[in-house]
């Protein structure tokens, strides 16, 4: 795990433990030292006006619920990206490709498919990656679990078999493709080195293509027809159709998130793709899986050295890493937590002010009751604890109810995102125990702090002054 991530988790756990400790100590002082009579009177005061009590607690419920939901959604964003990365190859993945633009003179924010630039940029004149680069890396790279080269042609190719048709992309790949992508073969086999050397007209198809064209029949050994005006604008062959033998079917990946559309892929040997589809040996991208996350920086430098033997400037290539994706998700999650945490904090402060105002009204209404208690022997401490217990029970109850509300809110929001925004991808509603502890502790402390002034004011009343009040 990244050291910064470990530090953040440790700090959050420390804050949670500290808040919980303070809450427990305050609770002990209030509930164990107050005395039975003060405890009974405090709870009785809340029961006296249930509507007022409920409305006052509502602010705490909303504030705590917002805190729990925000923490859960922020953690869920990171978890979602981690799951997506794992589904597409793992956290130690490195993708190497030549971007169309070289913007090292400006500032570049790189995604997996394109770059957005500010500042100066120019056409990337570096020589494209080709099949020879793949062969060199395959022989020279050390401390890697594997690597593959791939290229694709995503525009509307029509596949047909037995009167059925299905359109989808076609991909040229090397034999290591399933291992690098964490994507196993369900039936048959994948492309072999023999297929690669002979540029065989064989394909491995996704589960959706297999189901749409073959139904329940095994497609292994069957020939499908692929129809498309290939490569005319890129100078490649312009054939109208070709027959491809199916040798394997991939495991289903699911229609959602980073693997959207994978089950509709048709994969053929990269050499066959270059010969029959594209017309040149340029490789769109290389994907390398380092042995561990810690090895990623060293592996990138090793790749640059190997590329530098055939290319004038290895730095002209873009190196995308899965760790960058996770780091971006962590930053976005932190920003989300910060912004929404401020909103939730304001809600708790407003709730605290509401508790203070209600308790001041309660002190005014019960002035004669306070005077009578003092006249019968109640000490200043007894009255102080009576009102502090009221605010403590009120805020603690609101905190616990708010926790339940926050969990439901987080899960409901995650479900709505999954249904209407993410097209079936999963956004986990990760409920953090530490986050719940922090939220409830803060609610309790806000309640106690809000009750100090009204309780002190009530405790300072003298019996004569209190009994004389109308």
CB 96 within 8 A of CB 286: yes
Residue 185 has pLDDT above 90, yes or no: yes
The per-type count for the chain, helices as H runs and strands as E runs, is 14, 14
For the purposes of burial, counting CB atoms within 10 Å of the CB of 260, is it exposed (0-12), middle (13-18) or buried (19 or more)? middle
Question: pTM for this structure?
Answer: 0.64
Lowest mean pLDDT among 19-23, 36-40, 232-236, 305-309: 232-236
For 194-246, what is each residue's pLDDT tens digit? 999 999 999 999 999 999 999 989 999 999 999 875 444 444 455 468 899 99
Quick one: three-class SS letters along 392-420?
HHHHHHHHHHHHHHHHHHHHHHHHHHHHH
- Residue of 201, 168, 205 lying closest to 189 (CA atoms): 205
Average pLDDT of 400-427?
A: 78
Contact 137, 147 (CB under 8 A): yes
Q: State the average pLDDT over residues 375-402.
A: 81
Q: Is the dihedral of CA 462, 464, 466, 467 positive or negative?
A: positive
Q: How far is CA 414 from the centre of its chain?
A: 11
CA–CA separation, 118 vs 103, rounded Å? 8
| Nearest Cα residue to 191 out of 250, 137, 130, 274 | 250
345 pLDDT band, cuts 50/70/90, is: confident
Cβ-contact 188, 247 below 8 angstroms: yes
Q: Tell me which of 185-189, 277-281, 344-348, 466-470 is least confident.
A: 466-470
Give dist(CA 316, CA 26) in Å, integer.
61
Flag whether pLDDT at 119 surpasses 50: no
DSSP 280: S
Q: Pick 79 or 204 by higher pLDDT.
A: 204
Q: What percent of the chain has pLDDT over 90?
A: 17
Residue 309 burial class via C-beta count within 10 angstroms: exposed 0-12, middle 13-18, buried 19 and up:
exposed
> Which positions ≥6 away from 132 have C-beta within 8 Å?
281, 310
Distance of CA 299 to the CA centre of its chain: 26
| Most confidently predicted of 10-24, 233-247, 366-380, 419-433 | 366-380
230 vs 423: which has the higher pLDDT: 423
Residue 235: which residues within 8 A CB-CB, separation 6 or more? 279, 280
Residue 110 has pLDDT above 60, yes or no: no
In this predicted structure, what is the pLDDT of residue 213?
94
- The overall average pLDDT reported for the chain is 77
Q: What is the pLDDT of residues 441-468, one digit of tens each?
A: 888 888 888 888 888 888 887 777 766 6
> What pLDDT is stored for residue 387 in this prediction?
79
Comparing 437 with 304, the larger pLDDT belongs to: 304
Torsion of CA 236, 237, 240, 242, to 10 degrees: -110
Higher per-residue pLDDT: 165 or 111:
165
Distance between CA 42 and CA 55 in Å, rounded? 18
pLDDT of 24 strictly over 80:
no
Structure confidence at residue 287 (pLDDT): 92
pLDDT at 113: 40
pLDDT at 435 over 50: yes
- Window from 164-168, 197-201, 432-436 with minimum mean pLDDT: 432-436
pLDDT bucket at 40, cuts 50 / 70 / 90: low
| 89 vs 105, higher pLDDT | 89
- What mean pLDDT do residues 141-157 have? 82
| Under 8 Å between Cβ of 82 and 430 | no
Give the C-alpha distances (Å, rounded to integers) separating 466 from 21, 291, 377, 455: 37, 77, 14, 14
Question: Which H/E stretch holds residue 187?
Answer: strand 185-188
Q: Which residue(s) pair with 321 in the sheet? A: 94
- Please tell me the predicted confidence (pLDDT) of residue 60: 84
Identity of the highest mean pLDDT range in 327-331, 339-343, 346-350, 414-418: 346-350
Contact, 174 vs 234, CB < 8 A?
no
d(CA 332, CA 75): 10
- Confidence bin at 329 (pLDDT 50/70/90): confident
pLDDT at 316: 77
d(CA 380, CA 364): 17
pLDDT of residue 232: 46
Return the number of other C-beta atoms located less than 10 Å from residue 23's C-beta. 21
* Joined tokens for residue 430: 């990760």
Is the pLDDT confidence value at 313 over 70?
yes
Would the pLDDT of 140 be above 60?
A: yes
Burial class (CB in 10 A: 0-12, 13-18, 19+), 262: buried
Residue 321: helix, strand or coil by DSSP? strand
Half-sphere exposure of 139 (CA within 13 A, CB side): 7
Nearest CA to 87 among 294, 299, 260, 324? Answer: 260
């Amino acid at each position: 795990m990244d050291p910064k991530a470990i530090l953040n988790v440790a700090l959050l756990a420390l804050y949670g433990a500290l808040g919980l400790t303070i809450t427990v100590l305050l609770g002990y002082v209030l509930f164990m030292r107050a005395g039975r009579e003060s405890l009974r009177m405090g709870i009785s005061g809340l029961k006296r006006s249930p509507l007022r009590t409920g409305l006052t607690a509502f602010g705490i419920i909303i504030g705590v619920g917002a805190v729990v939901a925000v923490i859960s959604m922020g953690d869920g964003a990171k978890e979602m990206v981690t799951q997506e990365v794992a589904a597409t190859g793992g956290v130690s993945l490195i993708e190497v490709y030549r971007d169309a633009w070289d913007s090292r003179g400006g500032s570049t924010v790189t995604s997996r498919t394109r770059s957005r630039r500010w500042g100066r940029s120019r056409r990337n004149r570096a020589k494209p990656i080709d099949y020879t680069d793949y062969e060199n890396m395959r022989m020279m790279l050390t401390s890697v679990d594997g690597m593959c080269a791939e290229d694709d042609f995503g525009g509307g190719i029509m596949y047909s078999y037995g009167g059925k048709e299905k359109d989808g992309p076609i991909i040229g790949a090397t034999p290591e493709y399933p291992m690098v992508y964490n994507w196993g073969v369900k039936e048959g086999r994948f492309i072999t080195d023999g297929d690669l050397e002979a540029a065989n007209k064989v394909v491995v198809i996704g589960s959706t293509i297999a189901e749409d064209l073959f139904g329940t029949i095994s497609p292994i050994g069957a020939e499908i027809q692929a129809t498309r005006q290939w490569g005319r604008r890129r100078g490649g062959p312009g054939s109208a159709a070709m027959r491809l033998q199916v040798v394997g079917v991939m495991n289903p990946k699911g229609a959602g998130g980073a693997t959207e559309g994978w089950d509709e892929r048709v994969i053929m040997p990269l050499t066959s793709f270059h010969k029959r589809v594209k017309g040149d040996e340029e490789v769109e991208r290389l994907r390398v899986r380092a042995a561990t996350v810690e090895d990623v920086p060293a592996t990138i430098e090793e790749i640059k050295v190997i590329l530098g033997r055939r290319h004038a400037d290895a730095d002209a290539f873009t190196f995308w890493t899965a760790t960058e994706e996770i780091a971006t998700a962590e930053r976005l999650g932190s920003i989300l937590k910060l912004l929404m945490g401020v909103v939730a904090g304001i809600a708790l402060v407003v709730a605290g002010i509401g508790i203070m105002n209600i308790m001041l009204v309660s002190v005014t209404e019960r002035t004669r009751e306070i005077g009578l208690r003092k006249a019968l022997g109640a000490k200043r401490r007894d009255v102080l604890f009576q009102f502090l217990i009221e605010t403590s029970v009120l805020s603690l109850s609101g905190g616990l109810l708010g926790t339940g509300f926050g969990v439901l809110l987080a899960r409901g929001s995650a479900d709505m995102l999954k249904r209407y925004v993410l097209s079936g991808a999963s956004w986990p509603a990760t409920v953090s125990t530490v986050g719940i502890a922090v939220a409830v502790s803060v609610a309790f402390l806000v309640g106690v702090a809000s009750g100090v002034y009204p309780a002190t004011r009530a405790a300072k009343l003298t019996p004569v002054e209190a009994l004389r009040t109308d």
